[in-house]
Amino acid sequence: MECKVNINLNPYKERVSRARVIKPIGKVTRVIGLMIEVQGITARIGEVCDIVAQGEPEPVRAEVVGFRDQFSLLMPLGELRGIYPGCAVIPSGHNLTIKVGKHLQGKVLDGLGRPIDKTVDYASGQEFLVDNKPPNPLKRKRIDSVLPTGVRAVDALLTCGKGQRIGIFAGSGVGKSTLLGMIARHGSADVNVIALIGERGREVLEFLEEDLGPQGMARSVIVAATSDQPALVRLKGAFVATAIAEYFRDQGLDVMLMMDSVTRFAMAQREVGLAVGEPPATKGYTPSVFALLPKLLERSGMGQQGSITAFYTVLVDGDDLNEPIADAVRGILDGHIVLTRKLASANHYPAIDVLQSVSRLMPDIASDQHKNQAGNLRDLLATYQESEDLINIGAYVLGSNPKIDHAISKHDEIIGYLRQSPLEYSSYEETLNGLADLVGGS
């Protein structure tokens, strides 16, 4: 009896046609700055190559970032030490991948997703691509539930939804990292993924021990690409952290992704763009910077299962909230929290200027009562701020305007409510009860 089995060979034929039976080996012809010019390879943009130098224990990994004439342009994913003209260059055939898994919680990784402290069993994870596409916009779930952060000023007046993306805008030294630490320590997400991009080396351990603490660290994954790392490593650090957050989101978890800072990510891409030969555009930033920002920022948010709630810090040059990167990021995200130097110098922490800040999803997820009370508090603050100069110089006479009188009587209570020490925790219920007690009858 003859048995016929129909087998579809098309997928296998396609794999065979794509397979590289003989790997072409190129050679280094020139190095200018961080740009390596290679001849003799056929590699795609984003493909990782190994540069083998005699006398060095390990090859230098580099990524293809462009082409010029018949040459491929590579940038290193590490130190350039030991490279010389004629070094062998071997394409890997794939883009950068990392090993992911639940074993990463509580660990610190470098910008390429490798463990810094060498205590992680790196081989036990599963391969995950670093460069992924954002979720299909028609398959994203709508944001309909509140994600408490434990910070009164945020939960009361800038309520965040599960899956929302928010920017924290501030100049240097105003308290961005401290606010991130408070949210990571007190937030209600299942996993925190924290990317420290372009940070000073000393600030990494400082953030882990002081801002994050053991409680926050236990459910966090840290990706640290310090300012001394090559531009491409700083760039990849942001994508590696996002990929790790995507992995946990795909497991059905609610993830909190925090990145400090998007500005240094943009600066790293500017270095790469200028090295490839892009023309500088707005304030020296190359066009690729503004093309890459949405590709990074749109990857967070709601998925088909699970969510990534993201907080991105933006370092504004000269406290100018309209500088190019701040303006571009503000247009992409779902809200912005503005920290001001004026409040910080008055010892008001977190230094959130609630009148300049906004959560675009608060009207959809907060109750009507909550929105009315938050609006009342904003009205009181705005009324006081408009008359502050007259009040300070003694030119305002009590009784002249009942609205201003009420704002003056409530001002100290409001400021006390908005202030919060880094170790203080306020549950969502406590925050709303405090808001109702403060302005419920206004």
User: At 428, is the secondary structure helix, strand, or coil?
Assistant: helix
Kindly tell me if the per-residue pLDDT of 4 is higher than 80. no
Q: 98-363, which class in CATH?
A: alpha beta
d(CA 332, CA 328): 7
User: So what's the pLDDT on residue 275?
Assistant: 85
* More confident call, 63 vs 186: 63
Kindly tell me if the per-residue pLDDT of 18 is higher than 70. no
Contact 122, 99 (CB under 8 A): yes
Contact 388, 380 (CB under 8 A): no
pLDDT grade for 339, boundaries at 50, 70 and 90 = very high
User: So what's the pLDDT on residue 241?
Assistant: 96
pLDDT tens across 94-109, in order? 899 998 988 888 889 9
pLDDT tens across 387-442, in order? 888 888 888 888 888 999 999 999 999 999 999 998 899 999 999 999 999 987 55
Query: What sign does the dihedral 240-241-246-248 (CA atoms) show?
Result: positive
pLDDT grade for 313, boundaries at 50, 70 and 90 = very high
User: So what's the pLDDT on residue 20?
Assistant: 56
Q: What is the CATH number of domain 369-440?
A: 1.20.1270.330
User: So what's the pLDDT on residue 21?
Assistant: 55
Q: Which residues contact 176 (CB under 8 A, 6 or more apart)?
A: 168, 170, 260, 261, 313, 315, 339
Instruction: Pick 20-95's CATH classification: 3.40.50.150, 2.40.10.170, 3.40.50.300, 3.90.550.10.
Output: 2.40.10.170
User: So what's the pLDDT on residue 118?
Assistant: 66
Alpha-carbon distance values, 427 to 81, 218, 409 (Å): 52, 20, 26
User: So what's the pLDDT on residue 234?
Assistant: 93
User: So what's the pLDDT on residue 284?
Assistant: 87
pLDDT grade for 63, boundaries at 50, 70 and 90 = very high
Kindly tell me if the per-residue pLDDT of 156 is higher than 80. yes
pLDDT tens across 119-134, in order? 666 567 788 999 888 8
pLDDT grade for 22, boundaries at 50, 70 and 90 = low
User: So what's the pLDDT on residue 5?
Assistant: 56
pTM for the model stands at 0.88
Structure-token pair, residue 202? 């000393």
pLDDT > 90 fraction of the chain, expressed in percent and rounded? 56
pLDDT tens across 205-233, in order? 888 888 777 877 888 999 999 988 989 99
d(CA 384, CA 94): 59
User: At 310, is the secondary structure helix, strand, or coil?
Assistant: strand
Structure-token pair, residue 436? 């109702």
d(CA 167, CA 313): 6
pLDDT > 70 fraction of the chain, expressed in percent and rounded? 93
Domain coordinates of the chain in residue numbers?
Answer: 20-95, 98-363, 369-440
pLDDT grade for 82, boundaries at 50, 70 and 90 = confident
**Quick one: which H or E segment has residue 255?**
strand 254-260
User: So what's the pLDDT on residue 309?
Assistant: 95
User: So what's the pLDDT on residue 178?
Assistant: 87
pLDDT grade for 162, boundaries at 50, 70 and 90 = very high
User: So what's the pLDDT on residue 338?
Assistant: 95
Q: Which residue has the tokens 């020296």?
A: 284
Structure-token pair, residue 344? 């910080």
User: So what's the pLDDT on residue 37?
Assistant: 94
Average pLDDT, the chain: 88
User: So what's the pLDDT on residue 291?
Assistant: 94
